[in-house]
Structure 1
Amino acid sequence: MKARCRVYLTSNVPQSCLDVLLKVADISMWESPDPVPRGELLIGVRGVNALLCTSSDHVDKDVINSAGSGLCVVATLSEDTHHIDVEECQRRGIELVTLPKMSKDTVANLTMGILRQTLEDQEQQKFDIFDLNSNTLKSDSLLCEKTVGIIGYGYVGQAVAQRFLDLGVKDMLYNDLCVVKNPQPRAEFTNFERLVSESDIICICCKALTQKSHLFQKDAFKKMKKDAILLDSYSNGHAINYSDLYNALREKRICAAGLDVRDVNRTHPFKTNLSALNNCYYFPFKECNHTWDMRSAASESVARAVVSALRLGRNSEQEER
């Protein structure tokens, strides 16, 4: 009887993901909600054919060596591979699988969704400025006197900016590594200090602008307006010091924050503490029976790619024999 493949998972995943993997492989899994300890990871991957990890796991040469020569695929439940030694995987012919990147329009829609939720909860009223299907302007905008600041004015930042302009905001500022040539829509380039001090709504639309990842920390929050709203549209958490954000929200130094949890299995720092606040929100993925719809679909997609890679690896072995 032909031996089944072996897969190691560094975190709990939805049942739909497990169902796909169990068709072709035996599974071992770290079942704690906390990140798998380094020593446990090195032991857990021994002899596996596939590793399914999250962005909280550091998959370097030592982990790959511990897995052994049978490892043919490393998959991550995130869009990025900064936590994986990509060069070592490529050198060994190990396939990499990631979540598909979201389109700029999807990110813009999610940003408008969390903005609406934030405004309605903070103002204790329903806003009819949005069309329910498209989040576009229906009537005279209540945002007409607002200044919006965009951190990172690439294709995502420009898509988000256009949605705000459609809602009738007064001014649009942006900060990036340099002035963006011929941006659409047009916005005013300014330095980080002015942007955080003058903006009523700030959207983070980049991974990180500098080697110092925490752009938003204690000093930045002190410069922001008391009624400012911070939206993390695209940084995957790399731009915020969550301890400082928690203190800023709890002490009402800023009005509210909306955080991106698109990285479906990432351990969010201070999430328990932040979730207890009445002015912190997570991007609006629907929840059903305690299972995130988006999390299930995303992890199942990654699982199918892992299965394809495992089958391809088995076929290659048989051809070599």
Structure 2
Amino acid sequence: MRALVTAEFTPEGLARLEGLGYAVTTAGWGWTGEPLDGDGLAAAVDGSQLLVCEVEAVDAAVLASSGLRVVASARGTPSNVDLDAATASGVPVLHAPGRNAGSVADFVVGLLLVQARGIARGQTHLRQRGWHVDGQVPYLHFRGRELADLVVGLVGYGAVGRAVARRLRGGFGTRVLACDPPRPPEPGGDAEAVDLDALLAASDVVSLHVPDTPATRGLIGAEAFVRMRSGALLINTARGRVVDEAALVDALRGGVIAGAALDVFATEPLPRDHPLLGLDNVTLTPHLAGAADDVVAHHTRMICDDLERLAAGARPAHLANPAVWPPRS
């Protein structure tokens, strides 16, 4: 059997694939930093029974021409794979939900500390203007609040939201609210279940953890900012289009909210002339929340575990197209 791995994958994971009987070839995004295009992927995967991918698009043409038996997407949601085409072909699609939940949750706490305690503003001032602020000690200008004194509202309570709540509640004693009707917090857990209006009104910090869907696009816009506290902060490590960026810029300029920390944007890369870049009450990072070395180890382990389940005739734990199970004889 042959396997093509275009995702980042650990040496231990490659050894596990070989232990399952695969002759492994590596190419594409995970090894060169450049994803294979459709023709390149079709040529590289020809003759392989397994494809492990992360960025490359696996469409109906690739599936039809390759003879693949299993596709593993090293992503939380396998958005790079045509699930309908895979299901029609009887090809199981494995994925790695929650693979970067810890990484993103850590980053959220980092952004919260940076924005709430003036860390980024203090560093910028020191580098560009020196120690004093208008002749006064910086202590008077870059104060913030302790996390234990804040109320943090999480819009979305999936794997990332739950990981953020555990860190804030257990590590800092922060009161955490969460709005996610399909996945509400457990009573007595790390967060209190509230509706969106109550969350916006009560939170010192609003952190977004929902996917980009028609229902969530523009969810946080002018009306939401008016309902938030005037000293509130917005954190977005989810998807850029969940926030109406024009309304956010207006809210930040007008003092409707106090600040924001953003890792994702409606357009990426962020244009160099974007108005957010000119605001000093915003912390901006270039889509880094999931960029922890550990994430590769997590998705490698999850995929290898499921491939071993498949080899043993068992149902994979993370099967994106359950209609293919049980497999056709």
TM-score (structure 1 length as normaliser): 0.57
The residue identity in structure 2 corresponding to 1:187 is E
Structure 1 unaligned runs (5+)? 126-140, 261-266, 287-291, 314-321
CA positional deviation for 1:26:
2.9
- Give distance in 2, aligned partners of 1:5 and 1:164: 45
Change (3 A) 1:46 1:239: same
SS at match of 1:279: strand
Q: How do 1:197-212 residues align onto structure 2 when only pairs under 5 Å count?
A: 199-207=203-211, 211-212=214-215
Aligned length: 273
- 1:79 maps to what in 2? 76
- Indicate conservation of the 8 Å contact 1:73/1:306, yes or no: no
Residue 148 in 1 paired to residue 148 in 2?
no
Q: How do 1:1-321 residues align onto structure 2 when only pairs under 5 Å count?
A: 5-7=2-4, 9=6, 13=8, 16=11, 20=15, 24-29=23-28, 33=33, 36-38=36-38, 40-42=40-42, 44-54=44-54, 57-65=56-64, 67-69=65-67, 71-86=68-83, 88-90=85-87, 92-99=89-96, 101=98, 111-120=108-117, 121-122=119-120, 124=122, 142-143=146-147, 145-153=149-157, 157=161, 160-161=164-165, 163-165=167-169, 167-169=172-174, 173-177=177-181, 180=184, 183-185=187-189, 187=192, 189-192=194-197, 195-196=199-200, 199-207=203-211, 211-216=214-219, 219=222, 223=226, 227-232=231-236, 235=238, 237=239, 240=242, 255-257=259-261, 259=263, 270-271=268-269, 279-281=283-285, 292-298=292-298, 300-301=300-301, 304=304
CA positional deviation for 1:146:
3.2
Identity, in percent, stands at 19
Q: Deviations over 1:208-239 (max 9, x none)?
A: 6x643424565467545675433346x4x376
The residue identity in structure 2 corresponding to 1:76 is S
Change (3 A) 1:173 1:95: closer
TM-score (structure 2 length as normaliser): 0.56
SS at match of 1:51: strand
Structure 2 unaligned runs (5+)? 124-144, 314-329
- 1:132 maps to what in 2? none
Q: Deviations over 1:168-212 (max 9, x none)?
A: 55x6544334795863346362335x644653211224446x643
Change (3 A) 1:307 1:123: same
The residue identity in structure 2 corresponding to 1:27 is T
Change (3 A) 1:63 1:305: farther
CA positional deviation for 1:78:
0.8
- Give distance in 1, aligned partners of 2:155 and 2:27: 41
Change (3 A) 1:238 1:52: farther
- Give distance in 2, aligned partners of 1:225 and 1:245: 16
- Give distance in 1, aligned partners of 2:183 and 2:48: 47
Q: CA RMSD in A?
A: 5.2
Change (3 A) 1:283 1:19: same
